[in-house]
Amino acid sequence: MINFGLRFFVVSCLVLGLGACSSSGNNNTVVVETPTSYRDTGPWEAGVTTLALADRLVEVWYPVSPADTDGLETDPYFIRDALSDTLESLLPDDINPPFPTAAYRDARVSSGEPFPLVIFAHGSSSYRNQSTFLTTHLASWGFVVASVDYLERGLGLVLGDAPDPALDDVDLTRMVVALLSSENERDGALLAGRVSTERIAITGHSAGGGTAIRFGGEPDVVTYIPLSAGVSRDGAVVLPDKPSLWLAGDIDGIVAPERTSDAFAVASAPARFVLIEDMGHLGPSDICVIGENGGGIIQIALDANLPLSENLIRLGTDGCQPEALTIEDGWPTIRHFVTSQLRWAFGFDAEPVGLSNEVAEELPGATFTYQETL
């Protein structure tokens, strides 16, 4: 449930940046009041649609006026849809757990000013829907969020074939931006006139954090946000001269948190770093809570006695272990910091909201430390 009276449409509206206040075609106004944190759902609902790009799909979440969701049901996704044909054929037919999301399939986009574009890049052995806990939340706070299948590192590669041709991740990300720009201009498209691609942002998890770093240097990017990602200690990676937010878990066994802190230490100011206690690698994803017993497709595959490598098992379960922070307890903290960084970078908030240690009292589910260089 959202605090601060946002769903009651407060009288005052702070119009800061792109599309901070908009109204739907049926005169149901969506009003934004700056909260003290972004842990809760925003004034919009989230819509979702799927676009095609070359040999892969792009999932897009976007703001929807709450009045336009009356009578609609939220849309789940099915992890099985992301599998290669080979791996999919090995699973019993009755194993296909849905993952509920907060998005409404193909609902009408809220009107008003176009909403800024944020790219989400998934991790290795993963898929475009892997972090709907975050992507739907960002849509509720006034962003269009696009996530493509990076097939060159995706879940479909497990016991499957690599895409041909293979695409560079920066080139592919640029193709996604071009696709959304085209949809914005296409007569009759669901997103026509609703997406601003002049200034964009990117966030990504794990290997997707690496994509965020590499794409973050593009001239139209206002900020980049790597999650559970870092840099090698040999200093080979040159970080973009852009504002950044780094977020990691202190028990991450895939990307050591020291790699994230090393990256933050050399990142251009302003840079921010959030380290969440007892969170593992998969904390910024849906993966650990998919399926009857959690653990996502890796646990499902293990329960079905499928042959998986130790490295894949480790990658697909780090953060799901009982001693780790309960996944859902970490989500409000992740949602808050990512949303706050984006709304500050795009100019919605003249001053950052809750980008400090003081916001901890509003995020009781997780313990974290916060650092910044300004």
Instruction: Report pLDDT digits (tens) over 246-295.
Output: 999 999 999 999 999 999 999 999 999 999 999 999 999 999 999 866 67
**What is the C-alpha to C-alpha distance for residues 56 and 36, in angstroms, rounded to an integer?**
39
**What is the C-alpha to C-alpha distance for residues 187 and 270, in angstroms, rounded to an integer?**
40
**What is the C-alpha to C-alpha distance for residues 150 and 130, in angstroms, rounded to an integer?**
12
Question: So what's the pLDDT on residue 83?
Answer: 79
DSSP 228: S
Question: So what's the pLDDT on residue 26?
Answer: 44
Question: So what's the pLDDT on residue 97?
Answer: 86
Question: So what's the pLDDT on residue 268?
Answer: 97
Instruction: Residue 355: name the closest of 245, 237, 269 by CA.
Output: 245
Burial of 29 (0-12, 13-18, 19+ CB in 10 A): middle
Question: So what's the pLDDT on residue 233?
Answer: 65
At 321, is the secondary structure helix, strand, or coil? coil
Question: So what's the pLDDT on residue 264?
Answer: 97
Q: Which CATH superfamily, name and number, covers 6-88+95-279+330-373? A: Alpha/Beta hydrolase fold, catalytic domain (3.40.50.1820)
Residues 6+ apart with CB under 8 A from 101: 46, 48, 74, 75, 76, 77, 129, 132, 136
* pTM recorded for the entire structure: 0.91
Question: So what's the pLDDT on residue 162?
Answer: 87
Could you tell me how far CA 113 lies from the centroid of its own chain?
A: 22
351-361 burial: b if 16+ Cβ within 10 Å, else e: ebbbbeeebbe
pLDDT of 182-193, one tens digit each? 999 999 999 999
CB 297 within 8 A of CB 83: yes
Instruction: Measure CA of the first residue to CA of the last residue in the chain; give whole Å.
Output: 34
Low-confidence ranges of the chain (pLDDT < 50): 1-27
Going from the C-alpha of 57 to that of each of 155, 202, 246, the distances in angstroms are: 14, 18, 27
Domain ranges in the chain are 6-88+95-279+330-373
